[in-house]
């Protein structure tokens, strides 16, 4: 029989991990990211973790103070007031099939060096469709649906260096600068993807980032590894088990041009939660995920 001191030690160890996690994701020094939008210049409190929040859980408030340096909020079916401009795209599943002949323009776009990221889910859908068609090793008959959409927002929390207005007035909490996700800089789509006859859930996000290294969803897990690509980019590839026999593959790519692509693909309908398992395996392999995210077809 174990004594309670061991339980106490376990709690202390978990606390230590929490503190280490916080320290690891400590805010960058003020001024280290000059040239970016104002809200980013305010010291963020925590990590740059990206996530997709159920739309019914939160709206603008989450975006403002979600306690994340970067976050994604997804509008589900236009049911929230947030991001109504994208509600049409999120109003229901719509099968997207790769159109022939769209890949060349995407590749050309990348070749011109226009390092932009889609600012709307519709743009991201178009790019995703094009990249799917252009990526070798992926079934050309691959289709996807979009059930949720959202946008990426650089979010900050008030910190020691919160913006102080000229004249010595009271400092302005950072979240007041992004009341409704006004600092959009990216997009996200969620749905199901069918490739080679296998269907599973996916989510895809693209955003601008100040990070230099890709990040595993769970840094503590051994099922994820981060590597540096030949061009200097950083890629994290992982595998996460879900309840009920589900499994989610994750891929996070931080490119040298400051663009980050994050994708999850699962054999379950929801890559991040408890949902129906649709197939024995996800519709894409981790190798295909890698090819997809590193495709030159992205803008």
Partner 1 sequence: MEFADYVATRRGALLRFATVLCGQTWLAEDLVSDVLGRAFERWERIGVMTEPHAYVRRMVVNEYLSWRRRLARTAPRADLAPTMPPVDDGAQAQAERDAMIARLARLPRRQRAAVVLRYYAGLSDSEIAAELDCRESTVRSQIARALATLRLDSAAPPARPAPGHASRHASPPASPHVSLETR
Q: Give the binding site for partner 1 (CB under 8 A).
A: 1-15, 17-22, 45-47, 49, 51, 53-54, 57-59, 61-68, 71, 157-159, 173, 175, 217-223, 240-244, 246, 272-274
Shortest separation between residue 297's beta carbon and partner 1, angstroms: 30
Would you say 156 and 200 are in contact if contact means Cβ atoms under 8 Å apart? Answer: no
* DSSP 8-state secondary structure symbol assigned to residue 245: G
Tokens of 45: 């409190």
Nearer to partner 1, 66 or 191 (CB): 66
- Residue of 198, 95, 98, 82 lying closest to 149 (CA atoms): 82
What is the Cα–Cα distance from 159 to 22, expressed in whole angstroms? 14
93 conformational bin, left if phi > 0, alpha if psi -120 to 50, beta if neither: beta
Q: What is the DSSP pairing of strand 52-53 with strand 70-75?
A: parallel
- For CA atoms 210, 187, 72, 51, the dihedral sign is negative
Smallest distance, partner 1 to C-beta of residue 234, A? 18
Q: Which residues are within 8 A (CB) of 214 and not within 5 positions of it... i.e. 6 or more apart?
A: 226, 234, 235, 236, 252, 253, 254, 260
Shorter beta-carbon distance to partner 1: residue 57 or 287: 57
**Distance (Å) of CA 16 to CA 12, 20, 34, 85:** 6, 6, 33, 43
Q: Of 61 and 141, which has the nearer Cβ to partner 1?
A: 61
Nearest CB to partner 1, comparing residues 76 and 129:
76
- Min dist. Cβ of residue 119 to partner 1 (A): 22
Are 177 and 39 spatial neighbours (Cβ–Cβ below 8 Å)? yes
Closest distance between partner 1 and the C-beta of residue 205, in Å? 15
Minimum Å distance from CB 60 to partner 1? 8
Q: Which is nearer to partner 1, 40 or 138 (CB)?
A: 40
| Residue with Cβ nearer partner 1 (62 or 299) | 62
DSSP 165-179: -TTT---B-GGGG-T
Give the residue with the Cβ less far from partner 1, 15 or 257.
Answer: 15
Nearest to 147 by CA among 217, 68, 201, 70: 201
- Minimal distance, residue 1 CB to partner 1, in Å: 5
| Shortest distance, position 218 Cβ to partner 1, whole Å | 5
């Amino acid at each position: 029989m174990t004594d309670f001191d061991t339980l106490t030690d376990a709690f202390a160890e978990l606390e230590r991990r929490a503190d280490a996690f916080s320290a690891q994701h400590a805010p960058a020094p003020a001024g280290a990211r000059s040239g970016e939008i104002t809200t980013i210049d305010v010291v963020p409190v925590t990590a740059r973790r990206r996530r997709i929040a159920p739309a019914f859980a939160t709206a603008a408030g989450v975006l403002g103070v979600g306690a994340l340096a970067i976050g994604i909020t997804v509008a589900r079916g236009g049911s929230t007031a947030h991001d109504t401009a994208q509600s049409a795209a999120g109003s229901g599943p719509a099968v997207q099939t790769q159109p022939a002949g769209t890949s060349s323009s995407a590749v050309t776009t990348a070749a011109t060096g226009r390092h932009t990221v889609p600012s709307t889910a519709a743009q991201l859908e178009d790019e995703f469709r094009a990249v799917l068609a252009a990526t070798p090793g992926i079934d050309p008959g691959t289709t996807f649906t979009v059930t949720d959409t959202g946008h990426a927002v650089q979010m900050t929390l008030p910190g020691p260096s919160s913006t102080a207005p000229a004249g010595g007035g009271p400092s302005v909490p950072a979240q007041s600068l992004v009341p409704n996700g006004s600092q959009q800089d990216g997009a996200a789509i969620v749905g199901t993807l069918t490739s080679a006859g296998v269907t599973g859930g996916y989510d895809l996000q693209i955003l601008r980032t100040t990070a230099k290294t890709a990040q595993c969803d769970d840094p503590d897990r051994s099922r994820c590894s981060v590597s540096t690509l030949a061009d200097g980019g950083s890629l994290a590839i992982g595998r996460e088990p879900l309840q009920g026999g589900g499994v989610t593959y994750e891929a996070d790519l931080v490119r040298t041009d400051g663009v980050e692509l994050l994708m999850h693909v699962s054999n379950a309908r929801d890559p991040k939660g408890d949902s129906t398992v649709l197939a024995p395996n996800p519709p894409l392999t981790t190798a295909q995920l890698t090819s997809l995210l590193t495709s030159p077809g992205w803008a």
